[in-house]
Amino acid sequence: MNDTAKKPCTLCWTLRFFLISVSLIVGLYVGREMMSVQPVASDIQLQAGTALPAGLKVLPEVELYKHTGEKGTTEMLKGSWRLAYVGFTSCPDVCPTTLGIAKQIHKVLGDEAKKELIVTFISIDPEYDTPEQLNGYLGYFDPAFEGFTSDNDNLDKLTLAMGAVYAKVPLSDDAYTMDHSTSLYLISPEGEVRAVFSNPTNAQQIAEDYLALRGER
C-alpha cells in the first residue's frame, strides 16, 4: 500500500520539474528573441537561414575544453568558418540527426570543406561529456568534426551570445536530460555568428548559403 501511495507523488514531482523546465526554456527563448528584434537585416538573402551582419553577435572570451583534451578559450574557434551546433552526446534523436545533416553539407561542398568549414559540436552537458566522451562520439560521425565544452558559467555566456538556449531537465532516480536549441550557427573566422539555420534539414541549400556568405556565389 505504501508503494502504491508513492507513485502519484513521484509523478507529481516529475510533472512539476517538466513544467518548470518548459517555462524556463520558453522564457529564455522569448527573451533572447526579443533582444534580436533590433534591425539585423543583411544584404545577403539566404535560402535556408537568416544572415546576420558582421559585428552583431560576437562570441565572448570564455574558457573551453576541446575533444582532444586541449584547454583554451574562444580563440580556438577563430581562424576558420564553423558550422556550430549546441547539444549533448546522450541526445537520442535531434543531435545525431543534425550532425548527419552537417556531414551531408560537407559532402555537397567537397573534401576541402572539412578544412574550410569545421563542424563544431558544443556540449551543454559537461557533467557527462568529457573530452574523451566527445572524441568518441564525434568520431562516429566524422573525425574531422570538433567538439568543445566548459563549465555552466562559460557555456551560459557562450550560448547567450550565439542566441541558443538550453536547460537541464531532472528525471526520476537522479537521471536527467537536456533541452536545447536545434539551430545550426555559421560562425566566421573572426568569431562572429553570421547566419542561423533554425530548421537545418536541407544540406544543399545550407551549403549554398555558406558559399554566398563567403562571397563565392
Question: How many whole angstroms separate alpha carbon 150 and alpha carbon 127?
Answer: 10
Question: How many whole angstroms separate alpha carbon 37 and alpha carbon 131?
Answer: 36
Q: Region of 174 please: left (phi>0), alpha (psi -120 to 50) or beta.
A: left
Categorize the per-residue pLDDT at 172 as very low, low, confident or very high, splitting at 50, 70 and 90. confident
pLDDT above 90 covers a percentage of the chain that reads: 74
Residue matched to cell numbers 540527426: 97
CATH superfamily of 2-213: Glutaredoxin (3.40.30.10)
pLDDT tens digit sequence for 198-208:
999 999 999 99
**In terms of Cα–Cα distance, which of 69, 74, 89 is closest to 187?**
74
Per domain, the residue ranges of the chain are: 2-213
Q: Where are the extended beta strands (E) located within the chain?
A: 50-51, 63-66, 71-73, 81-87, 117-123, 146-149, 166-170, 176-180, 184-187, 193-197
Lowest pLDDT segment from 125-129, 135-139, 212-216: 212-216
Q: Region of 113 please: left (phi>0), alpha (psi -120 to 50) or beta.
A: alpha
| Residues 168, 69 contacting (CB under 8 angstroms) | no
Claim: this prediction has a pTM higher than 0.85 = no
Sign of CA dihedral 52, 205, 118, 132: positive
pLDDT tens digit sequence for 11-32:
343 444 444 444 444 444 444 4
What lies within 8 Å, CB to CB, of 109 at 6+ separation is 116, 117, 207, 210, 211
| Residues 185, 159 contacting (CB under 8 angstroms) | no
Pair type for strands 63-66 and 176-180: unpaired
What value does the mean pLDDT of the chain take? 84
Provide the grid cell at 166: 538550453
